[in-house]
Amino acid sequence: MNTICTILLLLLCPAALYSQLFTQRTNIVRHSHDTTTIGEAFGATHYAIDFARGFGSLGGEQAWNGKFIGCIDFYRWGSSDVLRGLFSSELSANPHNDIAFNPRAIIWEQALVLQLGSLSVGLQHRCKHDVDNSDSTHGDTPTMYSVRKRVLINSGMQLAWTGSSSHHSLSFDYMVRTEGYFYMSDYRFPANNEGRSYGDIRGAFMAAGRLDYSLAKKHSVFTRGWASLMAFKASPQSESGLEVNARFEGGYHLRGKQAGLDIYIAWERIFDETSFTIPSPTHSISVGIRSASSVFF
C-alpha cells in the first residue's frame, strides 16, 4: 500500500512540478528484468513513437508534436544490469501554412546510461534547433520578416531510481531522477536578455508515474504524470529561482507481446515556449497515439 500511495501522489501532483528539452518525458525506461541476452553485446533494441495533435498552445506552436525514441542495450551482464544508449528526437509544428503543418523546432537528445537494478546513472546531451527559421511564423503569409533563431544546448549527468509494483488489476511504474548540468547555452538572435535563460539552469528534479487498470488480458486504461522542477542561478536579467513544467494524461492501452499501443488525451504546461526568442509560458491540450516497446512506460 505504501508503494500505491507513492505512485498516486506522483500521478496527482504533476501540476505542481518537465523540461521541454526532455524528449523522453512521454516514454520512460522502466525497471525490468531480462535473462535472455545476458553476456550478449547489442542483445536488444527498443523503440517508442509518439504523435499528437495539440490545441490551445501559444501561437499554435505545439499544434503538432512527434517523438521517436530508440534504446540500445550495448551490453547486459545481469537480469537488470545493463549499459544502454538512448537516442531521441522531437519535432513540433504550428498550423500556419497551406497544409496546416509548419515545422518550427526540433530537439535531439542522447544519453548513455548504466542501469544497476533499480538505480541508474548516466550522461545526457540535449540540443534544440529551429526548422525553416528563414520563413516567418506563418510560413505561407507574404509579410516582412527578419530571421530569428534560438539554439539551446544542455549537457549533464543524471541519477535515477525506477520501480514497479502490482496489486490485482492495478499495475504501477514510477521514476524519480535528479540532473546536474556542466554545459548550458541559450543563443538568441536577435540577442535579448528577457526572461529565464537556459544558459543559467543548474539542475532539475524529475518524477514520473503511470497507473494501469486492467480491463481484460490485453486491454487497460491508464493515467500518467510527468513533472520537473528546475533550478536557475541568478543572472543580470533575472533572480535565482525555480521553474516548473508538468504533463498529465489518461487513455486506453492495448498490450501486445513485445510492445503496446496508447491512445490518450494529455494536458501539458511549459514555462518557456522555446520556438520564440523571448521566453513565454504556454499550455495545451492534445490527443495522441503512441506505440512503444514494453521496456518503456
Do 74 and 42 meet the contact criterion of CB atoms below 8 Å apart?
yes
pLDDT-based confidence at residue 55 (cuts at 50, 70, 90): very high
In the prediction, which pLDDT does 94 show?
94
The average pLDDT across 40-51 equals: 95
pLDDT-based confidence at residue 176 (cuts at 50, 70, 90): very high
C-alpha to C-alpha distance for 69 and 48, rounded to whole angstroms: 5
Q: What is the CATH number of the domain that holds 289?
A: 2.40.160.40
The pTM assigned to this predicted structure is 0.87
pLDDT in tens, 184-211: 999 999 999 888 999 999 999 999 999 9
Domain containing 269: what range? 2-293
Sole residue written with cell 512527434 = 66
C-alpha to C-alpha distance for 29 and 293, rounded to whole angstroms: 10
Question: Grid coordinates standing for 215?
Answer: 480491463
Total domains present in the chain? 1
Q: Which of 15-24, 231-240, 244-253 has the lowest mean pLDDT?
A: 15-24
In the prediction, which pLDDT does 147 show?
82
In the prediction, which pLDDT does 9 show?
43
C-alpha to C-alpha distance for 66 and 106, rounded to whole angstroms: 10
C-alpha to C-alpha distance for 154 and 171, rounded to whole angstroms: 34
pLDDT in tens, 210-244: 999 999 989 999 999 999 999 999 888 788 899 99
pLDDT over 60 (residue 7): no
